[in-house]
Amino acid sequence: MNAIEPRPPIAMGRVGPDGLLVDAEARLADLNARAGGKLGAPIAVPPIAAIVRLAQRLGIAVSRNVVAADGEDDIDLWVRAEPDADGVRLEVSGWRPRAAWRAPDGDAAREDDFLRAEADWLWETDAAMRITHLPFEAGQLNGFDPVAMLGQPLTLLFALEADGEGALPILAAAVEQARFDGQVAELRGTGQRVRLSASPRIDAQGRFAGFSGAATRIDPAEEVEAAPVPAPTAEPEFTSDFGQRLDKALRAPLARIIANADSISARVDGPLRDDYAEYALDIANAGRHLLSLVGDLADLSAIEREDFTVELEPIDLADVARRAAGLLAVRASEADVRIEKPRADERMPVTGEFRRVLQIMVNLIGNAVRYSPPGGWVWVRLEREGALGCVIVADQGKGIAIEDQAKIFEKFGRVDPAEPGGSGLGLYIARRLARAMGGDILVDSAPDEGARFVLTLPHRAD
């Protein structure tokens, strides 16, 4: 690798609207050439190309620390890509040889790692506090579209709450370019409260580049004075805590594996052999299966606790059904299945816990999509039956024999264990949740006639 000056200047470049490198200063041009690129062609350095594409897609400036290969060596770079009317303006700085990995020093770094491991999901912003990263599963579980939130102000997703002294920890941290913890906020439109923590991202010039943060759901029970702790029994409740600990320890690493494998499979960073792309797709699908299983085990440990409760609130079952159908639209499209969801003007006021009802609807519609043939339809319709509000999910799949209909609601129940599918926990958990909210899940099906799953919840007056 070429010698690197102690204080290298910023290397400027420009990418045209068509994604081709139209201009680059010597250092950047040389690195790109060593990677096999040239002016008038796409950028050949994969991590720089990825940041350019992200900036173009979001329409905002994006800054990232990246590691780029240069011959047999690696170098640390700080890349800033800012879109404008003529394409994307590039600033590449840093140019430091990649040091060997070592464990981070200091209590603060270790505390950050623990906070992120304990978090329910992760998020990132740029220096203007606009969202640059949200995991898909966070939107699926909390009822928002993570893709639509990219590039939006953080406050469009979170309604920030002042602390006991009337201050907002996140704002003070942004001013001081410091880490913060304990920022309480509400996910807009859901009533779900979360606790935010984050560490600042600083670019190579020492400028504040945004936050890399974590969000942890606040259990309403935390805000009530704790009851006296009973004396420990001879046998600790290991099973009750295991699923939750497993979920927190594995969710973030699995999500990163899936995201990276999907990127490799989609060849977003350049050409790749077909068999390698297929391997990456297999890794992503296996990761999704494991992530689903981890979530199911966490839910299983929660609903089987003697003190498990749900937070009943007024919700619109039609709105939840539309949200669930929207979250599954991409999966349905890939399977060549169409979802007919409730009309925008339809309403079905019921009582239940928003997050749990959304979880049930995603499970029911997801199953319907999975078992529908290519070109098939999934219908999501609403009905009122006396004191109950109902949502019906019907598909054109192979159906379920009467003798198997009880089995599908059993723990780990699978009609055909050899058939690709979930863990056998989804419907068991969904029915337990529905019954905890005063409702139920019923099934009506026969072989070769599709299946109709009906979720019922207590109806309420508008």
Q: Are residues 284 and 160 in the same domain?
A: no
pLDDT at 394 over 90: yes
Residue 185 counted as domain residue: yes
* Residue where a domain terminates, one of 303, 334, 359: 303
98-103: long-range contacts (C-beta < 8 A, 24 or more apart)? 98/67, 98/73, 98/74
Count structural domains, the chain.
4
Instruction: Name the residue with higher pLDDT: 226 or 432.
Output: 432
**Residue 293 burial by Cβ neighbours in a 10 Å radius (0-12, 13-18, 19+):** middle
Which amino acid belongs to residue 423?
A: S
Q: Reduce the DSSP state of residue 326 to 3 states and report it.
A: helix
pLDDT tens-digit map of 117-128: 567 788 888 888
The CATH number that applies at residue 352 is 3.30.565.10
DSSP one-letter string for 140-168: HHHT--HHHHTTSBHHHHEEE---TTS--
Residue 363 counted as domain residue: yes
Whole-number average pLDDT of the chain: 79
Q: Which domain holds residue 251?
A: 238-303
Q: How far is residue 251's CA from residue 121's CA, in Å, rounded to a whole number?
A: 8
Residue 441 counted as domain residue: yes
Q: Are residues 453 and 334 in the same domain?
A: yes
Which range (23-37, 57-71, 166-180, 407-421) has the least confidence? 407-421
pLDDT tens-digit map of 424-458: 778 888 898 999 899 999 998 888 888 999 999 99
Q: Are residues 299 and 329 in the same domain?
A: no
Q: Reduce the DSSP state of residue 447 to 3 states and report it.
A: coil
Q: Are residues 381 and 248 in the same domain?
A: no
* Residue where a domain terminates, one of 222, 251, 284: 222
Predicted pLDDT at 438: 92
Are 444 and 451 within 8 A, CB to CB? yes
Predicted pLDDT at 104: 44
Where residue 87 falls among pLDDT bands split at 50, 70, 90?
very high
Where residue 401 falls among pLDDT bands split at 50, 70, 90?
confident
Q: Are residues 52 and 160 in the same domain?
A: no
Q: Reduce the DSSP state of residue 408 to 3 states and report it.
A: helix
Question: Which whole number is the average pLDDT over 385-401?
Answer: 91
Q: Are residues 62 and 191 in the same domain?
A: no
Please indicate, yes or no, whether the overall pTM of this predicted structure exceeds 0.85: no
Beta strands 440-445 and 21-24, pairing class: unpaired
Q: Reduce the DSSP state of residue 452 to 3 states and report it.
A: strand
* Residue where a domain terminates, one of 61, 78, 97: 97
Q: Are residues 92 and 124 in the same domain?
A: no
Residue 2 counted as domain residue: no
Rounded to 5 degrees, what angle do the CA atoms 122, 60, 180 make? 35
**Residue 202 burial by Cβ neighbours in a 10 Å radius (0-12, 13-18, 19+):** middle
Are 327 and 341 within 8 A, CB to CB? no
Residue 1 counted as domain residue: no
Residue 207 counted as domain residue: yes
Predicted pLDDT at 458: 94
Q: Name, of 21-35, 124-138, 179-193, 280-294, the range with top average pLDDT.
A: 21-35
Q: Are residues 91 and 116 in the same domain?
A: no
Tokens of 368: 């319907």
Residue 447 counted as domain residue: yes
Predicted pLDDT at 294: 67
Residue 125 counted as domain residue: yes
User: For the chain, what percentages of helix, strand and coil (3-state, to nearest 5) are there?
Assistant: 35, 25, 35
Q: Reduce the DSSP state of residue 353 to 3 states and report it.
A: coil
